[in-house]
Every structure is written in C-alpha cells, then in structure tokens.
Structure 1
C-alpha cells in the first residue's frame, strides 16, 4: 500500500522508499527508512500535503512524495 492511501490515524511500517536521486536521499535523511513506524496525523483541506508522525516528530510531505513510499498497515492499531 502507498503511504498516500493510508487512512488518517492508522499505524503502518515502511516497507520501501522509492524515488530517485536527490528525492530519495532527502526522504532517507528525514528518517523515512524501511522498518520504521509511521502514522498519518492529518491531511490538508485540499488533500495536499499530509502530516505524518515518524520517530517522535511530525513531518509534512507532499502527496507526490508520499506515493513513492510503500507501507504495510499494522492491524488493530490506531493513533
């Protein structure tokens, strides 16, 4: 499942970080790496950007970037 499709409040684990070059390096530098827990906190009124919670900090991502991140939802857990 893509991060952009994860429902608000649902916990997940990152399985793959896509993208190329500078974008991929930027995502990895921000702590978006495989096996990391993540949750979508909110979505902007027009649907872009999204606010995520990762590694005890809040981060805002464009939907275009969130589509390059694959996650595996954690069953039975919510924010």
Structure 2
C-alpha cells in the first residue's frame, strides 16, 4: 500500500518509492531521503509537526508539509 510519509503512524516502517524533488529541500535528498531507502517513524512532536524519522540509520526531523511530497510503500511487519 502506497501512502504519503505524512500519513504513517508511530513505529510503522516502509520504503520510499517516490520523492517530488521540486518540493523537497536538497539537504534532505543529500541526507538519504531518496527512493529505495527504508524509513521508520520514530516519534511525532505535539500537533504532529515535525516528524522524527529514521531513514537508513540517519535520524531526521522534517515538517509534515514536506512529508506530504514523499511517497512510501508500507512494510507488512
């Protein structure tokens, strides 16, 4: 099932399938936010913004607005 990264729940993981590079800062792409990489939602801040993620072992905090432009395939864990 393919969904936006902004829609995952805490503890869910998946694989990034598509990134709209027009809306994603270059720094996130350089830090591994690329198709094929594994992503897991570690924690959400109050009001769900920002999201604290683990992407291939790298910990990132991104805004929900940015996460809307990243599509992932949820793992069946």
TM-score (structure 1 length as normaliser)? 0.86
Greater radius of gyration (CA): 1
Instruction: State how far apart, in whole Å, the 1-side matches of 2:69 and 2:30 are.
Output: 15
Residue 20 of structure 1 is matched in structure 2 by 22
Whether contact under 8 Å (2:40, 2:55) holds in the other structure is yes
Instruction: State how far apart, in whole Å, the 2-side matches of 1:19 and 1:57 are.
Output: 19
Deviation at 1:24, TM superposition (A): 4.6
Deviation at 1:11, TM superposition (A): 1.1
Deviation at 1:30, TM superposition (A): 1.6
TM-score (structure 2 length as normaliser)? 0.88
How many residues in Structure 1 have an aligned counterpart in Structure 2? 75
Give the CA RMSD over aligned residues: 1.4
Which structure 1 residue ranges, 5 or more long, are not aligned? none
Residue 45 of structure 2 is matched in structure 1 by 44
Runs of 4+ in 1 over 6 A off after TM superposition: none
3-state SS in 2 of match to 1:32: coil
Instruction: State how far apart, in whole Å, the 2-side matches of 1:28 and 1:45 are.
Output: 25
